[in-house]
Amino acid sequence: MARPVTIFTGQWADLGLEEMCRTAKDMGYDGLEIASWGQIDLQKAAEDPEYVKNLKGTLEKYGLGCWAIGAHLPGQCVGDVWDPRLDGFAPPELAGKPEEIRAWGIQQLKYAAMAAKAMGVKVVTGFMGSPIWKMWYSFPQTTEEMVEAGFKQIKELWTPIFDVFDQCGVKFALEVHPTEIAFDYYSTQKLLEVFEYRETLGINFDPSHLIWQGMDPAMFLYDFASRVYHVHIKDAAVNLNGRNGILGSHITFGDPRRGWNFVSPGHGDVDFDKIIRVLNVKGYEGPLSIEWEDSGMDRIFGGTEACAFTKKINFSPSDIAFDDALKTK
């Protein structure tokens, strides 16, 4: 089972497509998960065949594939409650205009589906935002009605978007993640139920966001495997020393005082062996896409090492039982 090993370009958005392709090839990757704020303009890809031809031609020049497009930032703008941080995700002329930012995000996600179709890509990864994330700690008291209203709003906002995805034959894979409407096991279960298990909506499985919350990512993966449309290889290291906690104290990522940090794959607490074994059992054949984040490591060194690490653990299931040779004829 030769799953392609790709790199998510969201953390490499400062590079143009040509340089990103050259860098990824040099680091050993098979392809890119292209970020919408980096090397692809979603509207152009949705509307301009010549632009798409150039994108595909550049990928082909370096022998790279593309199995997913990332639309995390515009997706966040769809479902979130506005604060000034969202201004950085949308065009600068929309700064301070919540409804215009949301409308932009909705249109961008529709373009994402059309761009994916034009590129021959079947999955768009991303975020959905959440009107109720700020209520995760129930003080002031959060009522069940408030939670239900939040999920209802997400369904209302995203249903027209998913209609376009269906027209394009493309699926959306939500990265289950704090600040999203689905951020852990039971909120994911609830989201799928609210959308009545609509096939359009699935999961971009990223274990790094689960491990520091105290979950077993492999258990999450096993239970939701039928809805996992894309997989991120990303790691986090938990470092609870009696002074710090998992909420992070508003300390910047990478600071060793934090209770946990994202680290290069293989340097943290995620058990990738268990994850690969679950993927094998469940028959996942899509890409293993490295989302590389490690503030304590040079990114070229880290990206290269992460690719080699992922290829090393990317083993196929056995086609025979190990004790078959013990049987007598």
What does 202-229 look like in DSSP terms, one character per residue? EEEE-THHHHTTT--HHHHHHHHGGGEE
pLDDT digits (tens, 9 = 90+) for 292-318: 999 999 999 999 999 999 999 999 988
Confidence band of 328 (pLDDT split at 50, 70, 90): low
- Would you say 72 and 35 are in contact if contact means Cβ atoms under 8 Å apart? yes
pLDDT of the residue at 234: 98
3-8+31-312 belongs to which CATH class? alpha beta
As a whole number of angstroms, the distance between CA 188 and CA 128 comes to 12
pLDDT of the residue at 323: 63
Which of 47-51, 113-117, 325-329 is predicted least confidently?
Answer: 325-329
- Which residue spans within the chain are E strands per DSSP? 5-8, 31-35, 65-70, 123-126, 171-175, 201-205, 228-233, 235-238, 260-263, 288-290
Bigger pLDDT: 329 or 22? 22
| pLDDT for 245 beyond 90 | yes
| pLDDT for 26 beyond 60 | yes
pLDDT digits (tens, 9 = 90+) for 202-242: 999 999 999 999 999 999 999 999 999 999 999 999 999 99
Mean per-residue pLDDT, 178-185: 98
pLDDT of the residue at 321: 73
pLDDT digits (tens, 9 = 90+) for 78-96: 999 999 999 999 999 999 9
Mean per-residue pLDDT, 58-71: 98
- Residue by residue, what is the 3-state secondary structure of 124-191? EEECCCCCCHHHCCCCCCCCHHHHHHHHHHHHHHHHHHHHHHHHHCCEEEEECCCCCCCCCHHHHHHH
| pLDDT for 252 beyond 70 | yes
| pLDDT for 199 beyond 60 | yes
| pLDDT for 137 beyond 90 | yes
pLDDT digits (tens, 9 = 90+) for 279-289: 999 999 999 99
Q: Where are the domains of the chain?
A: 3-8+31-312
Chain mean pLDDT for the chain: 96
| pLDDT for 115 beyond 90 | yes
Tokens of 293: 């984040």
Confidence band of 42 (pLDDT split at 50, 70, 90): very high
- Would you say 173 and 113 are in contact if contact means Cβ atoms under 8 Å apart? no
pLDDT digits (tens, 9 = 90+) for 168-181: 999 999 999 999 99
